[in-house]
Structure 1
Amino acid sequence: MVAADKLKKISEDVWEIPTDYKPGMNVPGHIFLSDRLIEGLESGAIDQTANVATLPGIQRYSMAMPDVHIGYGFPIGGVAAFDTETGVISPGGVGFDINCGVRLLRSELMADDVKPHKVDLINALYEAVPSGLGSESKFRVNDAQLAEVFRTGARWAVENGYGVKADLEHCEENGEMKGADPAKVSKKARDRGRPQLGTLGSGNHFLEIQKVEKIYDEAVAKAFGLKEGQVTVMIHCGSRGAGHQICTDYVKTMEQASRKYGIKLYDRQLACAPLSSPEAKDYFAAMAAGANYAWANRQIISHWVREAFSKYYKRDVRMDLVYDVAHNVAKFEEHEVDGVKKALCVHRKGATRAFAPGRSEVPVAYRDVGQPVIIPGSMGSASYVLAGTQRGMELTFGSTCHGAGRVMSRSAALKDIRGNEVKRQLLERGIVVKAPKDAAIAEEAPEVYKEIDEVIAVVDGLGISKKVARLVPIAVAKG
């Protein structure tokens, strides 16, 4: 077992990387994995979790969620919180697809209303929402409009006719992260973002028509507006080329800043700057702009999804937003550390915020039950809706996993898997898949991911988020 000699099991599904694992660690590392999942843990992911623990001002421990695998700097599934006075901010702790995230629409339709029409519906969604590598939108924004997108996010989309005000109430940060400054976004990032607003992109991004297969918590599901047999639509995408370029630009800035401020890096990909520095403030302002772009992007796509359903059924099909969560972002939040409330900068890289009941950041409609948490599967596998818990606030700074986690690289998948065969197998199971090319299906085949049921069992068992509903795919449009 790869982790046997490197990790110490301190409780059920919690493994510790001790501070003597490598020089410079300020805190231990904690990895949340079952005995079964730890069999596939990469040594590189352990090293990355330990490297994060060397960063200045880190609180408690460096963490990796059960979907952990190797990333850039931080592992995917990595979480770390930094003291605002002594800590740092690192683009490697956010990622290149800033605010890659997931939103879930609940519909008034039931599965029996949709299944006979699933081919037509997924074709309609595929036609309505541009997808694929380098895909460009059906409309263009000018420089002034793009600046407003960067500044106000989903609110810009709603104010311009893409959605309703209630959508904003059910987005993390209300779809508008404060502190964004378009002036801190480079011309190259703006040029990449301008033609891509309102596009799905490629990779693991998707639109999925689903059925609520099982409810685990009736009271919370009722608060979320979910019931068995109901049709939902899940949207997974991010900030496209704009976010990628923002990260690329600021990785270079942070490499210089690390040297300037005398920060010893155990991995160049963890380049960072003190939170009080001009470089950190500039990056946060640009990152927030990228996050807002992503929220506007998902808001526009939601509008086109609603239009496609209403056009197909020749009536207004109600599709309310359950919630929209971010995966790749750094945020200033208040948390309790050693019995004292502290302002922290929490990095979630391929991890999801999962706040408990009572937190002011949770929408009023959900404040008594906790923040909705949306964990997507991959075409043939289930997705889950969970809720944030107080245990999660105590154990993970209100964080949980963001998906199942890859076990095979895209290049390996393309070598070993045939997309047309995956498509055929899924069709035999009643799941229709639409993609720009078969390679896009091969790269994201269910078998390249961990078993999501096992991943969810870990977060639910630990109590860092609790199961509410299980969703299964009916039809999928891949990026």
Structure 2
Amino acid sequence: MEHSTIKLRKVQDYLWEIPREGKMRVPARIYATADMIDAIRSDNAPVQAANVAHLPGIVNYSLAMPDIHWGYGFPIGGVAAFDLNNGVISPGGVGYDINCGVRLLASKLSRHDIAPKIKNLVDALFAHVPTGVGSKSSLRLSDEVVRRAITGGAAWAVKQGYGSQEDLEYIEENGCFEGGDPAVVSKRAYERGRSQLGTLGSGNHFLEVGYVSEIFDQEAARVLGLELDQVTVIIHCGSRGFGHQICDDYLSVMNRAVQKYGIELPDRQLCCAPIESPEGQEYLRAMRCAVNYAFANRQIITAWARQAFEEALGMGSTKIGLRVVYEVAHNIAKIETHSVDGKKMKLCVHRKGATRAFAPGAAEIPAAYRSIGQPVLIPGDMGRYSYVLVGSQVAMEQTFGSTCHGAGRAMSRHKAKKTARGRAIVRELEDRGIYVKASSRRTIDEEISEAYKDVASVVDACQLAGISKKVAQLKPLGCIKG
């Protein structure tokens, strides 16, 4: 489908629809404000949302969140659910960085406690947590140990001494996605996975020290244990080269499956296989291994971040109190039960650059949080702010319990570098009280604030549409990047 043929009609405030036409099986819907829609349209991402609507077994709508932008096959910010009986699974609907996700830690400290030592703290974090393209961990793992990590996830990491059982309670899937099968992972993926566990990587991945700057929902903040000026840590990373390799391997498998099963596609990047086919099931088992790799990765990084805090601040762990508030995945496919036309259905829900946002009462939410709904963690850019949200009943009814995942890029990396040319970005940030350390100047330039949409407008659009609710805003004090 060409950009020029896309018709977008306003369904209601903050919701737009591309009507079903041609071989689309369902309409496509985009959540956005009127101010956002022109920029979204110019990115061509609506074409991708419409293309996803062609896939067999898609249920209700092809959905896109306000942070939608162009991706591989599926748009980033895309959500699509498929009937298990006649639907498909597509690696492009999960993305290359399988289980890229966000973990939020909250401390017992206030920003005034760490302000004089923020540079020391960021330097210590940079020393403890490897960053950058191809960054290697201090851990050197055998294939057998990698196999244990990719079946055990964060629980495996805790058994190795990286954190506590309590951490696991506040991770999506409790940090271990059942059903991973190491036998369907390629030799090349193992090679890439051996040396990258406990690394941030590059691009938009980061570890940020910040503080709670604003509270919108006092009761939800109380339940989450968040208060004004409290020091927080956000960890944003994924499955590194291991997950990338699994995606690459299974794109080849799916390209063959498309021919085998006679699936007609508007874009070959949407290559897929029936969910219940051998190829579909094999991809799911391999993807779950990468999901667990990412869970273990963030758990190890958390342990190293706790060490860095103790060293830089000269305090014990009890006084610092860095506990896991929650951890979400935003590149994943899951088998979930949802209500469709009044009936319960098991669906394969693809979320690529979108976050699960289940309503209060859902059994999948930690018991301590069920009264408020699932916590949703939305990172912004390194110069502005991030948000904590909670899920809603509207999300359950309209988006298969999904909402946005971040700011979404507003310009390409190339354009961002041109915009940053001749500027001292690190100094600009430092002048605003934000200390940033990165393994390369290029990353800093590519990740300037202007490269991203204002995440406040993204979360506001989701709140106005009713698919998530704001709880708190977090502002950065210091950050490490690849």
Tell whether 2:400 aligns with 1:397: yes
Structure 1 pair 175–272 and aligned structure 2 pair: CA distance change class (3 A): same
1:441 aligns to what?
444
Tell whether 2:83 aligns with 1:79: no
Could you tell which deviates more after superposition, 181-190 or 42-51?
42-51
Q: Give, in angstroms, the shift of residue 104 of structure 1.
A: 0.3
1:184 aligns to what?
184
Whether the 8 Å contact between 1:3 and 1:43 is mirrored in structure 2 is no
Whether the 8 Å contact between 1:420 and 1:438 is mirrored in structure 2 is no
Q: Percent identity, aligned pairs only?
A: 56
Q: Give, in angstroms, the shift of residue 463 of structure 1.
A: 1.2
Tell whether 2:459 aligns with 1:456: yes
2:228 aligns to what?
228
Could you tell which deviates more after superposition, 306-315 or 329-338?
306-315
Tell whether 2:326 aligns with 1:323: yes
Q: For 1:347, which of 350, 354, 371 is the aligned residue?
A: 350
1:134 aligns to what?
134
Q: Give, in angstroms, the shift of residue 370 of structure 1.
A: 0.7
**Structure 1 residue identity aligned to 2:25:** N
Q: Secondary structure, in 3 states, of the residue corresponding to 1:153?
A: helix
For 2:304 and 2:186, the matched residues in 1 are separated by 29
Q: Give, in angstroms, the shift of residue 347 of structure 1.
A: 0.1
**Structure 2 residue identity aligned to 1:438:** R
1:312 aligns to what?
312
- The 5 A counterparts of 1:357-372 are 357-372=360-375
Whether the 8 Å contact between 2:102 and 2:327 is mirrored in structure 1 is yes
Q: Gaps spanning 5+ residues in structure 1: where?
A: none
TM-score, scaled relative to structure 1:
0.98
Whether the 8 Å contact between 1:3 and 1:39 is mirrored in structure 2 is no
Q: Give, in angstroms, the shift of residue 5 of structure 1.
A: 6.7
Whether the 8 Å contact between 1:81 and 1:345 is mirrored in structure 2 is yes
Q: Gaps spanning 5+ residues in structure 2: where?
A: none
**Structure 2 residue identity aligned to 1:192:** R
Q: Give, in angstroms, the shift of residue 413 of structure 1.
A: 1.4
2:36 aligns to what?
37
Q: Secondary structure, in 3 states, of the residue corresponding to 2:44?
A: helix
- The 5 A counterparts of 1:128-167 are 128-167=128-167
For 1:103 and 1:127, the matched residues in 2 are separated by 20
Structure 1 pair 310–404 and aligned structure 2 pair: CA distance change class (3 A): same
Tell whether 2:50 aligns with 1:50: yes
Whether the 8 Å contact between 2:121 and 2:313 is mirrored in structure 1 is no
Q: Give, in angstroms, the shift of residue 38 of structure 1.
A: 1.1
Whether the 8 Å contact between 2:171 and 2:327 is mirrored in structure 1 is yes
TM-score, scaled relative to structure 2:
0.97
Q: Secondary structure, in 3 states, of the residue corresponding to 2:195?
A: helix
**Cα distance per residue 1:402-441 (max 9 Å; x no partner):** 0010011112212231385221211111111101121110
For 1:115 and 1:220, the matched residues in 2 are separated by 27
Whether the 8 Å contact between 2:117 and 2:313 is mirrored in structure 1 is no
**Structure 2 residue identity aligned to 1:218:** Q
Q: Secondary structure, in 3 states, of the residue corresponding to 2:221?
A: helix
- The 5 A counterparts of 1:141-290 are 141-290=141-290
Q: Give, in angstroms, the shift of residue 8 of structure 1.
A: 0.3
Q: Give, in angstroms, the shift of residue 395 of structure 1.
A: 1.0
**Structure 1 residue identity aligned to 2:166:** A
Could you tell which deviates more after superposition, 88-97 or 415-424?
415-424
1:12 aligns to what?
13
Q: For 1:380, which of 353, 375, 383 is the aligned residue?
A: 383
For 1:270 and 1:145, the matched residues in 2 are separated by 33
For 1:259 and 1:186, the matched residues in 2 are separated by 22
Q: Give, in angstroms, the shift of residue 178 of structure 1.
A: 1.0
Q: Give, in angstroms, the shift of residue 17 of structure 1.
A: 0.3
1:299 aligns to what?
299
Q: Secondary structure, in 3 states, of the residue corresponding to 1:293?
A: helix
For 1:419 and 1:332, the matched residues in 2 are separated by 49
Q: Secondary structure, in 3 states, of the residue corresponding to 2:26?
A: coil
**Structure 1 residue identity aligned to 2:37:** I
Q: Secondary structure, in 3 states, of the residue corresponding to 2:194?
A: helix
**What is the root-mean-square deviation of aligned Cα atoms in Å?**
1.2
2:481 aligns to what?
478
Q: Give, in angstroms, the shift of residue 44 of structure 1.
A: 2.0
Whether the 8 Å contact between 1:99 and 1:290 is mirrored in structure 2 is yes
Q: Secondary structure, in 3 states, of the residue corresponding to 1:329?
A: strand
Structure 1 pair 430–4 and aligned structure 2 pair: CA distance change class (3 A): farther
**Structure 1 residue identity aligned to 2:270:** L
Q: Secondary structure, in 3 states, of the residue corresponding to 2:39?
A: coil
Q: Secondary structure, in 3 states, of the residue corresponding to 1:195?
A: coil
